[in-house]
């Protein structure tokens, strides 16, 4: 299997090399050199050498940004740019790296408080060198990059948002659909599936809001959810506390969906997305072993989304699936750290259904249950919107309107989401395609195994080989079904110790006579 997966990755990379993928994705509002300050902010080292290396990097900022500028100019000459409507977010991100007072620069944050293991005289020397690098190199370099971006890149940024407008764009998008879904589905097939699921989930949502007793239309209900202050916090600290409480509600239920010996040994928690990133990024994301949450404009972050979002980005979602894979000590690293989007995002979306049943985390609050259905709708809408933008020529305004009409997401969330789909074509398809594949495999297992079926065994099997393309996952599940029917060992985790201990497999193996 390792051979097949290695071959799969190489063939996918070869297919992608036929298109200007690297040039298309050089810079967006979600990644690029303008966000380097936030990456550096959290650096810390025990010894002076680590900080000396960081100063060398700061001293190289000018060369790096000049080279990056040259690469952007090369892409522009090929006719490859991001849409202006989204790239207008980037100048403010660049400006966040320029600080008149070097001690207020994000690049100085690691030097503000150095560890006691470094002598005081050396600390003073490192801090002085960092301030000098920021003043003489970092600030001027970002000022030059800002001037280039505003005066050269933005005027040449494209007006149409779909990637199909790039050279060979339609074929490129068709490849991206295959890449992110790990299937052979076409954009048209994905779009049709999205319309079907939107209609199906819409019916479930309408039934629930009638059960709540709301008097009015579905659109009236969405407006009510977006505008009534009772559904929102005004204090970011209250929002953070609510996320942490949601995380703790999940933990006691994890053994209902995964065997005890499969639980990751790595603890997890909730942290805050840096303020400089928050306006342009997601409501939350997994930064294992953390779930990073967005506290920007808490009045735009609905309470009824908190539990389901924590299930997705925390556990049993990404903060369970990724550590389990990394702890498969006897797998080669390229498999332990692999990430097929349809698998990883499919599992995280499937995890939301586990928090519904059997965990029952949405049972006591109908609005929380609606939040769960709203998140399922959100991912179904993505199938329609992403293909609409990149295959069917939708405008940004059309995409925003479709999401407003069909989800209860806040307008702030919708705007950042649509801009994400614009600059990251195809990725948003992986969630619902992956979830639907996992649910179909689970139903097949339930029907074939009858009283031999166990949800925990199924989930063990799905996670037991690490991240997989959908076709390979189907083979793994079918083999487990056949083995179970034949009375053979399930062998769902052949590369990890069973039962696992805090010690690694390597340590256990070495300890044996």
Verify that 358 and 232 share a domain, yes or no: yes
pLDDT single digits (tens) 344-372: 999 999 999 999 999 999 999 999 999 99
Q: What is the distance between the terminal CA atoms of the chain, rounded to a whole angstrom?
A: 30
234, part of any domain: yes
Verify that 255 and 296 share a domain, yes or no: yes
Given 397, 432, 467, which residue is the final one in a domain?
Answer: 432
Verify that 139 and 179 share a domain, yes or no: no
365, part of any domain: yes
Given 163, 188, 206, which residue is the final one in a domain?
Answer: 163
449, part of any domain: no
Contact predicate 205/218, CB 8 Å? yes
Omega cis (within 30) before 289: yes
Predicted confidence at residue 49, as pLDDT, reads: 97
Verify that 105 and 211 share a domain, yes or no: no
* Closest to 83 (Cα-Cα) out of 352, 480, 425, 427: 425
450, part of any domain: no
Predicted confidence at residue 493, as pLDDT, reads: 52
User: Structural domain tally of the chain?
Assistant: 2
Verify that 335 and 187 share a domain, yes or no: yes
Predicted confidence at residue 505, as pLDDT, reads: 45
Verify that 96 and 125 share a domain, yes or no: yes
Neighbours of 249 (CB within 10 A): 14
Question: How far, in Å, CA of 375 to CA of 367, rounded?
Answer: 12
pLDDT single digits (tens) 177-233: 999 999 999 999 999 999 999 999 999 998 898 888 888 888 899 899 989 999 999
pLDDT tens by residue, the chain, 513 residues = 899 999 999 999 999 999 988 888 999 999 999 999 988 988 999 999 999 999 999 999 999 999 999 999 999 999 999 999 999 999 999 999 999 999 999 999 999 999 999 999 999 999 999 999 999 999 999 999 999 999 999 999 999 999 999 989 999 999 999 999 999 999 999 999 999 999 999 999 988 988 888 888 888 998 999 899 999 999 999 999 999 999 999 999 999 999 888 899 899 999 999 888 888 888 999 999 999 999 999 999 999 999 999 999 999 999 999 999 998 887 889 999 999 999 999 999 999 999 999 999 999 999 999 999 999 999 999 999 999 999 999 999 999 999 999 998 888 889 999 999 999 999 999 999 999 999 999 999 999 999 999 999 999 999 989 999 999 999 999 999 998 898 876 654 554 445 444 444 445 445 444
402, part of any domain: yes
Verify that 176 and 266 share a domain, yes or no: yes
6, part of any domain: no
Q: What is the pTM of this model?
A: 0.89
Side by side, which strands form the sheet with 269-272? 269-272, 290-293, 284-287
502, part of any domain: no
In angstroms, the Cα distances linking 272 to 20, 241, 315, 345, 409 are: 35, 11, 17, 21, 21
Verify that 151 and 281 share a domain, yes or no: no
Contact predicate 155/91, CB 8 Å? no
Verify that 74 and 208 share a domain, yes or no: no
Given 398, 432, 466, which residue is the final one in a domain?
Answer: 432
Verify that 136 and 239 share a domain, yes or no: no
Verify that 149 and 58 share a domain, yes or no: yes
Verify that 65 and 131 share a domain, yes or no: yes
Range of the structural domain that residue 84 is part of: 20-163
Predicted confidence at residue 277, as pLDDT, reads: 84
484, part of any domain: no
């Amino acid at each position: 299997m390792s051979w097949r997966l290695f071959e799969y990755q190489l063939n996918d990379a070869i297919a992608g090399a036929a298109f200007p993928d690297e040039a298309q994705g050089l810079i967006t509002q979600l990644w690029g050199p303008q966000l380097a300050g936030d990456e550096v902010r959290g650096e810390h080292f025990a010894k002076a050498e680590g900080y000396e290396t960081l100063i060398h990097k700061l001293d190289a900022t000018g060369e790096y940004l000049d080279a990056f500028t040259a690469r952007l100019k090369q892409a522009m000459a090929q006719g490859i740019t991001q849409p202006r409507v989204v790239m207008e977010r980037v100048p403010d991100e660049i400006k966040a790296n320029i600080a008149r007072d070097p001690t207020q620069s994000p690049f100085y944050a690691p030097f503000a408080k150095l560890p006691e293991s470094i002598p005081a005289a050396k600390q003073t020397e490192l801090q002085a060198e960092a301030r000098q690098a920021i003043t003489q190199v970092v600030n001027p370099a970002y000022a030059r990059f800002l001037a280039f971006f505003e005066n050269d890149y933005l005027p040449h940024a494209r007006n149409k948002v779909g990637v199909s407008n790039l050279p060979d764009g339609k074929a490129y998008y068709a490849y991206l659909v295959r890449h992110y879904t790990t299937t052979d589905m076409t954009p048209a097939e994905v779009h049709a599936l999205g319309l079907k699921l939107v209609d199906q989930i819409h019916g479930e949502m309408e039934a629930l809001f009638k059960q709540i007793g709301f008097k009015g239309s579905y659109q009236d209900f969405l407006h009510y959810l977006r505008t009534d202050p009772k559904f929102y916090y005004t204090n970011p600290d209250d929002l953070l506390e609510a996320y942490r409480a949601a995380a703790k509600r999940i933990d006691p239920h994890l053994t209902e969906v995964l065997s005890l010996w499969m639980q990751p040994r790595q603890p997890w928690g909730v942290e805050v997305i840096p303020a400089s990133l928050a306006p342009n990024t997601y409501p939350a994301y997994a930064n294992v072993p953390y779930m990073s949450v967005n506290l920007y404009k808490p009045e735009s972050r609905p309470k009824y989304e908190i539990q389901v979002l924590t299930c997705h980005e925390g556990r049993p979602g990404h903060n369970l699936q990724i550590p389990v894979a990394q702890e498969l000590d006897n797998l080669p690293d390229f498999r332990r750290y692999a990430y097929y989007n349809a698998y990883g995002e499919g599992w995280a979306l499937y995890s939301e259904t586990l928090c519904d049943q059997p965990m029952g985390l949405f049972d006591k609050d109908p609005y929380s249950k609606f939040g769960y259905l709203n998140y399922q709708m959100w991912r179904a809408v993505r199938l329609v919107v992403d293909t609409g933008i990149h295959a069917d020529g939708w405008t940004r305004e059309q995409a925003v309107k479709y999401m407003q009409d069909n989800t209860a997401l806040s307008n702030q969330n919708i705007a950042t989401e649509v801009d994400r789909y614009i600059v990251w074509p195809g990725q948003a398809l992986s969630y619902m395609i992956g979830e639907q594949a996992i649910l179909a495999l689970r139903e097949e297992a339930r029907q074939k195994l009858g009283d031999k079926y166990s949800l925990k065994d199924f989930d063990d099997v799905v996670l037991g080989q690490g991240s997989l393309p959908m076709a390979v996952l189907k083979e793994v599940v079918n083999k487990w079904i056949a083995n179970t029917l034949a009375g053979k060992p399930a062998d769902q985790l052949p590369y990890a110790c069973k039962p696992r201990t805090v010690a690694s497999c390597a340590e256990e193996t070495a300890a044996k006579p």
